């Protein structure tokens, strides 16, 4: 299993070395936490909103994707914010063309056999076998798959993985009947229930709505209200949002509950690669709590695995 960002970097480079690769994705689309959602005629980026680039190699890749039209600066011109086009899932879709992705393949457990192979139990599909396994879901989800398959990891590695925790995030999607007072480049808040708000129309996402607003609630609010009813979350956050909405009326809404949004802590390594088991674990829990961190982690793991491909 090797989901979108770290996975695609890794898979493309392994394929060039002759490996047969397969991505298993539980959802009906690619993108993971860089996902885009349609509600009626409105289109929202509901997870990551943009990303920044510091790593030189990643920057070169991003520039290349921008040249191909899969990426743009937002707002146009001076910003260090990058957004995939036509929306956040755009890049995953572009990368997914070069690797085989099986959608709606939810992995239930992974088991390591004495012969060295991995047995992967996929819901509704049965068993699949692999020589190497990469897990790049949020670390608690990866650990759960290993535990379900009774895989015993080296004690220190397991303890270091168990320390990787994530913040939850409630994401609200609101359709408005007219433009609001939200700044075109979005607004971040250090206090109160709202952490981030943006109108996806101002991000340049093509759609049928006049205004399609994504609201991310703060981690404190999200922890407190994670299990609350959709209408209760709406009522509680509305006073903080009201001044930004101006005269606009909410004509449609949706809620997404991100159980694992961003890591609270970082694993000390860029990725975990256990050559004896041929098991790799990567993602934003390792390389940094953001899109770039997930990419950097995936690239680090790709390099480790590529060494073993060259030697065999």
Ligand X SMILES: Cc1cc2nc3c(=O)[nH]c(=O)nc-3n(C[C@H](O)[C@H](O)[C@H](O)COP(=O)(O)OP(=O)(O)OC[C@H]3O[C@@H](n4cnc5c(N)ncnc54)[C@H](O)[C@@H]3O)c2cc1C
Contact positions vs ligand X (CB under 6 A) = 1, 3-6, 24-27, 32-34, 47-51, 106-107, 136-138, 141, 145, 169, 171, 216, 258, 261-262, 283-284, 290-291, 294
**Phi and psi (nearest 5°) for 150?**
55, 40
Q: What is the rounded CA–CA span in Å between residue 278 and residue 268? A: 20
Nearer to ligand X by Cβ, of 106 and 111: the residue is 106
Determine the Cα–Cα distance for residues 110 and 186; give it in Å rounded to an integer: 41
Judged by DSSP in three states, 184 sits in coil
Q: How far apart are the first and last CA of the chain?
A: 22
Q: Give CA–CA dist 225/257, Å, rounded.
A: 10
Q: How far is the CB of 178 from ligand X (least distance, A)?
A: 26
For residue 66, the minimal CB distance to ligand X (Å) is 16
Q: How far apart are CA 150 and CA 142, in angstroms?
A: 13
Q: Do residues 24 and 118 make contact, with C-beta atoms less than 8 angstroms apart?
A: no
- State in angstroms the smallest separation of the CB of 247 from ligand X: 28
Nearer to ligand X, 258 or 273 (CB): 258
Q: Count of CB atoms within 10 A of residue 306's CB?
A: 16
CB 265 within 8 A of CB 293: no
Nearer to ligand X, 60 or 178 (CB): 60
Write out the two tokens for 205.
């996402």
Question: CB of 295: closest distance to ligand X in angstroms?
Answer: 8
Q: Closest CB to ligand X belongs to which residue?
A: 32
Instruction: For residue 183, give every residue at least 6 positions away whose Cβ sits within 8 Å of its Cβ, in sequence order, or none.
Output: none
User: CA 67 from chain center: how many Å?
Assistant: 23
Of 114, 136, 181, nearest in space to 34 by CA: 136
Q: Is the dihedral of CA 157, 162, 164, 170 positive or negative?
A: positive
Residue located via tokens 């056999």: 113
């Amino acid at each position: 299993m090797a989901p979108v960002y770290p996975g695609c970097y890794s898979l493309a480079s392994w394929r060039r070395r002759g490996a047969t690769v397969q991505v298993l994705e539980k959802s009906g689309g690619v993108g993971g936490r860089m996902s885009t959602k349609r509600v009626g005629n409105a289109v929202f980026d509901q997870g990551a909103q943009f990303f920044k680039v510091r790593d030189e190699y990643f920057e070169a890749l991003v520039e290349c994707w921008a040249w191909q039209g899969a990426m743009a600066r937002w707002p146009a011109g001076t910003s260090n914010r990058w957004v995939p086009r036509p929306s956040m899932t755009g890049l995953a879709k572009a990368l997914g063309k070069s690797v085989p992705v099986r959608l709606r393949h939810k992995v239930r457990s992974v088991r390591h056999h004495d012969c060295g192979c991995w047995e992967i139990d996929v819901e509704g599909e049965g068993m699949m076998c692999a020589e190497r396994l990469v897990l790049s879901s949020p670390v608690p989800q990866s650990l759960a798959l290993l535990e379900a398959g009774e895989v015993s990891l080296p004690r220190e590695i397991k303890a270091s993985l168990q320390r990787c925790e994530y913040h939850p995030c409630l994401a609200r999607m609101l359709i408005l009947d007219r433009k609001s007072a939200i700044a075109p480049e979005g607004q971040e808040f250090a206090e109160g229930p709202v952490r981030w708000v943006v109108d996806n129309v101002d991000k340049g996402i093509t759609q049928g709505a006049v205004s399609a607003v994504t609201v991310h609630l703060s981690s404190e609010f999200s922890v407190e209200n994670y299990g609350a009813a959709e209408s209760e979350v709406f009522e509680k956050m509305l006073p903080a949002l009201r001044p930004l909405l101006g005269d606009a009326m909410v004509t449609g809404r949706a809620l997404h509950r991100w159980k694992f949004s961003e890591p609270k802590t970082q694993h000390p390594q860029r990725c975990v690669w256990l050559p004896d088991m041929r098991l790799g674990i990567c993602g934003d829990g390792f390389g940094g709590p953001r899109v770039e961190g997930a990419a950097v982690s995936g690239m680090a793991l790709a390099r480790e695995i590529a060494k073993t491909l060259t030697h065999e």
